[in-house]
Amino acid sequence: MERGHRLLKWFIYSFLIGLGVMFICALSVYFYSYSQGPPSLTSDQNTVIYSNAEEVIGVKHGNQNRYWVKLDEISPHLKKAFLITEDRSFYEHFGFDMSRIAAAMIKNIVNMDKVEGASTITQQYARNLFLNHEKTWTRKINEAIYALRLEMFYEKDEIFEGYLNTIYFGHGNYGVEAASRYYFDKHANELTIAEAALLAGIPKGPSYYSPINHPEHATERQQMILKLMANQGEITETELKHAKQEKLAIAQEEERQGKQIAPYFQDVVIGEATTILDITKEELITGGYKIHTTLDTKKQKALEKTAENQMDDSSKIQVAAVSIEPKTGSVQALLGGRDYEESPYNRVVQAKRMAGSTFKPFLYYAALERGYTPATPLESAPTQFELADGRVYAPSNYNGYYANDEITLAQAIALSDNIYAVKTNLFYEPETLVETAKEFGIKSELPAVPSLALGTASVSVLEMAKGYSVLANGGKDVIPHTITKITNAEGEVLYERKKTEKEQVLDPKQSFILTHLMTGMFDENLNDYSRVTGAAIQDMLSRPYAGKTGSTNTDSWMIGFSPQVTTAVWTGYDKNEKITKTEEQAYARNIWAHYMEAVHKELPVKKFKPPEGVVAVSMDSHTGKIAHSGCEDQRVTYFVEGTEPRESCTLHVPKNLFDPNQPKDEKEDGSSLWDWVGF
């Protein structure tokens, strides 16, 4: 009897001690969990890139798809389906369902195997967020602690939202939004009852229940979930009947993969974003960021379509083109090559090629700023230049054409005369051109040599587009950019581009004068119109543009602008092969012309406006003097006030001026002879 009494006391003491130890352990776990603070509710997500019209143009996350949507943006059918199949007591327990745990233990003991689990939604969420799925005691303990922390610091709806956004659905898709898009090509709030039941069944075995790999398994589990929903009163019998009969349309391969818009542009965006946020590319594309960009999808499609239509499919020649809004520097369209899948090498920003005559505007701005006017004459004839080191430099004009006479700056630009350019470069010294190009934003290394006037330095397409945009906006600094705003997964703004007053880097009067001279490449009124560099595309154009062509043996350029759009186009071979085919030499200017016309259709016609201090003169382009009706090469030309020509042209006097049948003091239009000679 006494021995039995001692055993009872020992049992009671042991039980109480055990309870005490358990209480202390539980209290320790509680305080430890609390001391760790609230865990993050998010995991790696897709970074989404938007156009300037808020269209999704790209999603980045390697081979995984992840999206985060709010709980109220998820179909109620899908939420009910998950609660019924995964955790019916979710809103009642504190992270652990003790009754389910006990039932599962009994069932597993009876079957001598682990045939049933008891993990709650909170525990599964903890596992999805922070842990691996190894079946070890360490993992289970950590899972319990994470689950406890989630329940301590967050509301049930927050936990449920996180769970639905992180659960795995197979084929690289995490979360209900990614799964909805992948399997049904729709958003998570658009799912029908039947679709919701199908998706809710996948996480139990993402491969086994995949509707793509094993549609029969997926359908079988879907039917079971629909019955559970009906038994629990979540759907009516009528809804059950319709859901069972609904024929599900699984998205096709091309719909599941999605189409990336402007992939070369997106690469530039990723590079710019990593610099702004000071993070790695991997951190960016898995961070769930939302990047708002400057891309105009209409312009992008027009650029891609134009390049495709103008270039022969059999040709291996490449293309690079970029379109910028000159007032803001917004990159609105970008094409880094003919086929991104074949070659992701971005020729707009990564390649550097000789600019040819497209470099001349920088030279002529320097000249205008230092005393040249549009009427400044120089002789265009074959010339040998003796350099300081004793070498002789003998440039030539395109197709061997020379005026063999004096031509004005206005003519030199329209005809792209090389002799005029080299003479000007040597007169002001090549170092002047190097410094001036930097003012336009050219950052590439430039050799201070005579041939720099002819574009023998290698530069990027983006640099050249930037430089021309400075002219297009009247001489203000341009910073090409692709990003306007970046937010994190929670919508917090991390970066937003500010609208600031642009710095005036060029003289506005000289910028306008040069811009107007650059419209001369399309001037059909010139007597030697056939030699004007834009003659071949002039008929395609319906409004004022300024521009410049450029060519070398291996490069073909066309860069030009309106007040609203600057576009630079380069074509050539990646390995510097010579461009020998006539049609290939025309690709750049044809792409530019067709593209500019396409994107300006919806834009109002705007002319380049002269600033104060600039005067217009009807000038004879050949003599640089005031033109009259007998001058065949006349055009309106602008000068800084006080530098305009004062003398009238006397070279182009009508042949019948001294016809004895006409009054001696008048010419055929009735004006005085003195008007002709400038008195």
Report in angstroms the alpha-carbon separations of 25 from 67, 97, 147: 39, 19, 17
The answer to whether residues 176 and 69 touch, using CB atoms and an 8 Å cutoff, is yes
Within its chain, how far is the Cα of 508 from the centroid? 30
Instruction: Write out the two tokens for 205.
Output: 């075995």
Quick check: helix, strand or coil at residue 349?
A: coil
Please tell me the distance from the alpha carbon of residue 26 to that of residue 42, in angstroms, as a whole number.
27
Long-range contacts from 155-159, C-beta under 8 angstroms, 24+ separation: 156/90, 156/91, 157/71, 158/41, 159/121, 159/122, 159/125
Instruction: Please say if 86 is a catalytic residue.
Output: yes
The answer to whether residues 461 and 348 touch, using CB atoms and an 8 Å cutoff, is yes
Please tell me the distance from the alpha carbon of residue 80 to that of residue 232, in angstroms, as a whole number.
10
43, 323, 357, 556: the active-site residue: 357
DSSP 648: B
Within its chain, how far is the Cα of 571 from the centroid? 20
Instruction: Write out the two tokens for 295.
Output: 């891309």
Quick check: helix, strand or coil at residue 509?
A: helix
Angle between helices 508-518 and 360-369 (to 10 degrees): 140
Report in angstroms the alpha-carbon separations of 243 from 81, 214, 235, 418: 13, 20, 10, 77
Q: Got the DSSP string for 251-280?
A: PPHHHHH---S-HHHHHHHHHHHHHHHT--
Instruction: Write out the two tokens for 620.
Output: 């004879």
Backbone angles phi, psi at 596, to 5 degrees: -60, -40
DSSP 608: P
Please tell me the distance from the alpha carbon of residue 589 to that of residue 625, in angstroms, as a whole number.
32
Please tell me the distance from the alpha carbon of residue 350 to that of residue 353, in angstroms, as a whole number.
10
The answer to whether residues 672 and 665 touch, using CB atoms and an 8 Å cutoff, is yes
Write out the H or E segment, with its range, that includes residue 462: helix 461-472
Pairing assessment for the beta strands 318-325 and 566-572 based on DSSP bridges: antiparallel
CB count in 10 Å sphere of residue 481: 18
Instruction: Write out the two tokens for 481.
Output: 């950019």
Sign of CA dihedral 401, 405, 409, 414: negative
Instruction: Please say if 644 is a catalytic residue.
Output: no
Please tell me the distance from the alpha carbon of residue 354 to that of residue 346, in angstroms, as a whole number.
17
- The region, left, alpha or beta by phi > 0 then psi within -120 to 50, assigned to residue 653 is beta
Sign of CA dihedral 351, 352, 354, 359: positive
- Alpha helix positions (H), 377-429: 409-415, 418-428
Backbone angles phi, psi at 568, to 5 degrees: -115, 130
Quick check: helix, strand or coil at residue 354?
A: strand
Please tell me the distance from the alpha carbon of residue 275 to that of residue 461, in angstroms, as a whole number.
21
Q: Got the DSSP string for 560-584?
A: EE-SS-EEEEEEE-TT------HHH
- Known catalytic residues are 86, 357
